[in-house]
Amino acid sequence: MNTRKAKAAVQDELSAFLDDVVELARSSTGVDSQRLDELKRDFRERVDHIQSDAKDTARELLAQADTALDRADTMAREKPWHFILAAGLVGVAMGVLVARK
User: How confident is the model over 15-56, as pLDDT tens digits?
Assistant: 777 777 777 666 666 667 777 678 778 878 887 888 888 888
pLDDT for 95 equals 93
Overall domain count for the chain:
1
The CA–CA distances, whole Å, from 67 to 61, 72, 74 equal 10, 9, 11
Cβ pair 49, 13 in contact under 8 A: yes
pLDDT for 88 equals 93
User: What whole-number distance in Å separates Cα of residue 10 and Cα of residue 17?
Assistant: 10
Domain that holds residue 18: 3-100
pTM exceeding 0.85: no
Distance of CA 86 to the CA centre of its chain: 30
pLDDT for 35 equals 73
Measured in degrees and rounded to the nearest 5, phi and psi for residue 15 equal -65, -45
Residues 6+ away with beta carbon under 8 Å from 26: none
User: What whole-number distance in Å separates Cα of residue 46 and Cα of residue 23?
Assistant: 13
Cβ pair 39, 72 in contact under 8 A: no
